[in-house]
Chains A and B, each alone.
Chain A
Amino acid sequence: MIEKLQQRVNNDAGLVRRGRYLSTTFLLEVGRTSWLITIFEGRIVSVTSGPFVMPSSSFALRASEDDWSKFWSERPPPGSNDLLALVKRRALKAEGNLQIFMAHLRYFKEALGKLREGAGA
């Protein structure tokens, strides 16, 4: 499912344009499964699944499978409808160089929202 991120983000011209100054690799953890997602100038160039021996990333977003599935449901319940809602409930851990995450917060919220049910391709 996470692999769909690449096509869905890259197909959204507005999102790619807003991310044109963003080039980084971040780690996404869904429970015990992890992915390294590499972005170059707003386009996702690779989504690689773990496990990794020495994953290198600018920052990591970690939450349980249950919390991500609520976030990615078609109509997320209160408390699961936004990355910061998850952070507020201490359900999502954001760790690492968060300057990149915060400077491009709208991009990351909208990119990860692309995995929501019904978000389409």
Chain B
Amino acid sequence: MSVKFEPITGRYMHLDLFGRPHRVYVEEAGEGTPLLCLHTAGSDGRQYRGLMNDARVTSRHRVIAFDMPWHGKSSPPAGWHDEEYQLTSAQYTTMVLEISAALRLDRPILIGCSIGGRIALHLALEHPERFRAIIGLQAGAHVDPYYDLNFLHRPDVHGGEVSGAIVSGLVGPDAPAKERWETLWHYMQGGPGVFKGDLFFYKLDGDIRGRVAQIDTRRCPLFLLSGEYDYSCTPEETLAVAQSIPGCEVTIMKGLGHFPMSEDPQVFLTYLLPVLEKIGRS
């Protein structure tokens, strides 16, 4: 029987975050310029499997994705069973900077999607010197809640089923079925209340509308890529952010939705590779 292994390796990192010990799962593939990848709310680093398995990316980049605490194979911190998980802008910022430093990454390229795209805007504003370039996927400055978030975490609604069902329409219409349902499976596997806790950042705490225009792209180049079919962060919202930031480059990706790197990696790469090439030249 012949088997095939992907070039991805995973390790568990122990580090202190927010004054508490954490066990964080980190995956990587490739060699070269570090490319640090941030997953969406309620999901995990598997969303970047397409990038990590594509030699056009990994021949020149060390692609790294960590599962945020509470997500994927990362644990919640000890004591979690008596707490309500809520992600804040301050925690998210600290997490990205601390993990990047712990991995000794030298000014990585940062790529983040959805909540990862939002924190990318925060980092572009507050810590541009730490990154070579920042790529925001489905990045908007704010999203108003459009459904009652309490349905994500209550005992009479299955959290995994409802999380998958809520985001299913955010996948673009042309996504291959295999990748579409892989993307939704990650949502269905999320821990109780975790997606909801991430959305505290996305829909309440992480609002950056008032400050986004202060991002200085001369200090760190900023690229925004958004899928045409995303109704959570719409193309209009991404375009509004881009228009308010001088030097920001923006592309609307035809046919794609809210999870471009996971729902349709091959099409997404046709948009990402030219951006990576441009960053590589600068």
Interface residues of A (CB under 8 A from B): 75-76, 78-79, 81-85, 87-89, 98-99, 102-103, 105-106, 109
User: Which of B26-63 touch A at CB < 8 Å?
Assistant: none
Q: Is the CB of B162 within 8 A of A102?
A: yes
Please choose the segment from B131-139, B150-158, B197-205 that sits at the chain A interface, where 4 or more of its residues have CB less than 8 A away: B150-158
Q: Please report whether the interface of chain A is mostly helix, strand, loop or mixed according to DSSP.
A: helix
Please give 20 more A-B residue pairs, beta carbons under 8 A apart, in addition to A83-B169, A84-B147, A87-B147: A75-B173, A76-B173, A78-B230, A78-B235, A79-B231, A79-B234, A81-B169, A81-B173, A81-B229, A82-B169, A84-B169, A85-B169, A88-B231, A98-B148, A98-B151, A103-B156, A103-B158, A105-B165, A105-B166, A109-B168
Q: Is the CB of B165 within 8 A of A106?
A: yes
A78, B229: Cα distance in complex, Å: 5
A103, B148: Cα distance in complex, Å: 13
Count of B residues near A, CB < 8 Å?
23
10 sampled A-B residue pairs with Cβ under 8 A: A78-B229, A84-B166, A85-B169, A98-B148, A98-B151, A99-B157, A102-B157, A103-B156, A103-B158, A106-B165
Q: Please report whether the interface of chain B is mostly helix, strand, loop or mixed according to DSSP.
A: loop
A107, B102: Cα distance in complex, Å: 44
Q: Is the CB of B231 within 8 A of A85?
A: yes
A99, B235: Cα distance in complex, Å: 31
Q: Is the CB of B228 within 8 A of A78?
A: yes
Chain A residues within 8 Å of B148, by CB? 98
A22, B196: Cα distance in complex, Å: 25
A102, B151: Cα distance in complex, Å: 7
Given A88-B231, A103-B156, A82-B168 contact (CB < 8 Å): yes
